[in-house]
Amino acid sequence: MNPSLLNEYEKPTRQHFEILMMSWAGWVFDFYDLILFTFLLIPIGQELQLSNIDLSYILGASLAATALGGVIFGILSDRYGRKSVLQWTILTYSIGTFLCGISNSLEVLLFFRIITGLGVGGEWATGQTYVGETFPAKLRGRYGAFMQTGAPIGIVLASVIGGFVAPAIGWRMCFFISILPALLVVFIRKRLPESDIWLERKKLTTEAITGTKKNAGELFLRLFSPEYRKIFSRCLILAIFDMSAYWFTYSWLPGYLHQQRQFSIVKSAGWMLITQAGGLTGYLTFGFIADKWGRRPAYSIYSVIMAAGLVMITLMWDVVAAYPSVILSFMFLVGFGTGMFSGYGPLFAELFPTEIRNTAMGSAFNLARGVQFFTPVVIAVIAERYGLGGGISLAALFALLTGAWIWVFPETKGKKILI
């Protein structure tokens, strides 16, 4: 006899893996659409006559829009279900990316990048909530980690399109073709079932039982109620530290290699692929370590690895630059350390009940990403005096803060999630 809920199964079934793979595919193209812009900064700036500061504001605005998208789509997902909202988010970021290809000014491009950011902000949390609610507790960490591998795969895809294809077809066509795989994902997703634990919660909160439905504002404000404000604040700070480590690294890393280290666009893209090989390895392994040793030790281990790699490819570049294999290994470690992002989906799923799970996950993760509006600008300003490497090196500090802050959380390894 099968258990009543998907997350009560002893082993994942075909239905589990269909949910995982479609959520993963959505995250691949989500992150691809966000990162592709960083590879097209130079040709876009040249054609539209935009300065580095102008481009930084556009990149920052798209990150800020993810905050709003995370809150809006998180609330919608808690009210209308995971499956429907996943499709809405994919359509939003796909349309935004496509429209970027017709931009002819700073203002127009800024507007379309904001549309892209709204969809990007909503997709991650909805997909992670979907996976977290349907997989068995003892395996939640590793499959949440697999879901997160969509990020490095998305960056690899962006590296290939932005570094190798863009010189041949132009930056506008890169945006145009980027709509195609996302539309395919939307079509496939129609086959998936709704999260059964969300359906169970919906039955318990019908108007016949509760007398009233909570509106969107009430769902969001519940995060700041005495019951949840302490843990939500901790989650938000953790995400801000980690997001800062990530975006201080990646918002200008291709530009750093090209401008400060005199790499060609193609070579910069090739070296970015090394970091993403590390990222893919880190995302995959993090889940196993988190399921075996706990969420907190895993975060700390990976944060220290990322910080060490960052110091070596920025402040210590001249010391190791004579040994390409050595500096490439540190590029790999930078990516490997970002594997700690695999912990967010399982951790947040284990900390919040179903009624506000997606709202909490989307709000904390994407409000933290929205704060990164300032990151590309800060790096560009610092670079005027210390070079892009000086700005990027600050990421090491935020990585270490992430590894320390995780210890204010309770250990949630193997915890049964709340309906």
Q: One digit per residue, pLDDT tens: the chain, 419 residues?
A: 457 788 888 889 888 999 999 899 999 998 898 888 888 888 999 999 988 788 888 888 887 888 889 889 988 998 889 988 998 999 899 999 999 999 999 999 999 999 999 999 888 889 989 998 999 888 888 898 888 888 888 888 888 898 889 989 999 999 999 888 777 777 767 788 888 888 888 877 664 444 455 566 677 888 889 999 999 999 999 999 999 999 888 877 877 787 778 787 778 778 888 998 998 999 999 999 999 999 999 999 999 999 999 999 888 888 887 888 898 999 999 999 999 999 998 998 899 988 889 899 888 988 888 787 777 677 777 777 777 777 788 889 999 999 999 999 999 988 887 67
Domains of the chain, residue spans: 14-188+197-205+225-408
| Predicted model pTM | 0.80
CATH fold for domain 14-188+197-205+225-408: Growth Hormone; Chain: A; (1.20.1250)
Q: In this structure, which long-range contacts are made by residues 5-8, counting pairs with CB atoms below 8 Å and at least 24 apart in sequence?
A: 5/196, 5/197, 5/200, 6/133, 6/134, 6/135, 6/196, 6/197, 7/133, 7/134, 7/135, 7/136, 7/137, 7/197, 7/417, 8/136
